[in-house]
Amino acid sequence: MLSRVAEACFWTGRYVERAENVARILDVNHQGVIENTGPEAEPSWWSVVATTGDAAEFFRRYPRPTERHVTEFLALDRENPNSVARCVTAARENARSIRDRISSETWEELNRFYHAVSQLTLEQLLRDGPYAFSRMVRNGSHLLGGVVDNTMPHDEGWHFLRAGRFLERAGMTARIVDSQAALLTRPAAGPDYAATHRWIAVLKSASGYEAYRKSHRGAISPEGVVGFLLLAEEFPRSVLACVSEVEAGLKAVRALLALPPADRPAREAGALAARLRYTELDVTTMPSLHDFLDTLEADCNEVGEAIAAEYFWGRSPLRRGA
């Protein structure tokens, strides 16, 4: 497989997953604002922009982080390299360059997804609400994932596409938690029902509410939710489960190419998975949650850098603005 083909497969998976998770972040913040009608409602919109790492770009063109401005910026703004519309477009362009390596069904579904997002207007989005938008993006991403798994050969290209998707999901799951961490880890004098609803919204944004309730009895706790979304290996959207999938996919690529399995990307992913398996999150670690998540996101980026150096001629995995 050519390096450019492997890279296009990898980034098709990453961009589709990034679009889905940006929509999820937008939705969880919207749900949090509904529960918080106090003075912290507007700063929480600022936290979303800060979490995505695009604050400078946002304030270059928008005066304040209001619901309308942040929604437009994250959902439909084509000048924002990490908006849903821009990510779906980038995924489509990467897939276009490898039409001979993907199934016609995959291309048709991605093309349908692209047109559904492109035809949406800001007024329609605000009228229907971020939840409806997030659901549409999630469904488009899930449909595409199902088509890829059921119509493409499970060869190197398929493994690279999945590795990109799961690596992006690992980092973005950490960001979803991080987007609420500052507000949700503050000590409360008594029962904080608004915070409980926010944690429920975080779980629902990761499609993990029912799975969490089945595995955890009693009241919802911050450390329980964070531990579940980061460390529950049986939950497919947890960081540990995603990193484990990346490691397995990279090893499968080496096996298909008859190469030694001990390459740097697989070692980096395996080391991160091992650290997560032996991580314990409890009440005492919650005050430093933001720093822990920052380190975790940096570790995911290092895995991406190792993959780029090994397979893509050393090009940067960030690839913002493509």
> pLDDT tens, 26-78?
887 777 666 555 544 455 677 778 777 788 899 998 988 888 999 999 999 99
User: How high is the mean pLDDT of the chain?
Assistant: 87
Q: Has residue 320 been placed in a domain?
A: no
On the question of pLDDT at 316 being above 50, the answer is no
pLDDT reported for residue 219: 80
pLDDT reported for residue 50: 75
pLDDT reported for residue 107: 97
Total domain count, the chain: 1
Q: Has residue 130 been placed in a domain?
A: yes
pLDDT reported for residue 319: 53
Distances (CA, A) of 18 to 3, 12, 91, 271, 284: 22, 10, 10, 24, 31
pLDDT reported for residue 320: 44
Residue with the larger pLDDT of the pair 148 and 187:
148
Q: Is 216 exposed, middle or buried (0-12, 13-18, 19+ CB in 10 A)?
A: middle
Split at pLDDT 50, 70, 90, the class of 187 is: low
For residue 82 the two structure tokens come to 């990490």
Whole-structure pTM value: 0.89
Q: Has residue 145 been placed in a domain?
A: yes
On the question of pLDDT at 186 being above 50, the answer is yes
CA distance 104 to 107: 5
Split at pLDDT 50, 70, 90, the class of 6 is: very high
Q: Has residue 322 been placed in a domain?
A: no
| Segment among 53-67, 188-202, 212-226 with least mean pLDDT | 188-202
pLDDT digits (tens, 9 = 90+) for 266-289: 999 999 999 999 988 877 777 788
Residue with the larger pLDDT of the pair 187 and 153:
153
For residue 315 the two structure tokens come to 């090009």
On the question of pLDDT at 169 being above 50, the answer is yes
On the question of pLDDT at 194 being above 70, the answer is no
pLDDT reported for residue 106: 96
CA distance 161 to 6: 8
Handedness of CA 116, 118, 119, 122 (dihedral sign): positive
Report which of 147, 160, 170, 138 is spatially closest to residue 13, judged by C-alpha positions: 160
Q: Has residue 212 been placed in a domain?
A: yes
Residue with the larger pLDDT of the pair 312 and 105:
105
Q: Has residue 64 been placed in a domain?
A: yes
CA distance 185 to 183: 6
Q: Has residue 319 been placed in a domain?
A: no
Residue with tokens 């980061």: 230
Q: Has residue 317 been placed in a domain?
A: no
Are 32 and 193 in contact by the 8 Å Cβ rule? The answer is no
pLDDT reported for residue 300: 95
Percent of the chain with pLDDT over 90: 60
What is the extent of the structural domain holding 220? 3-311
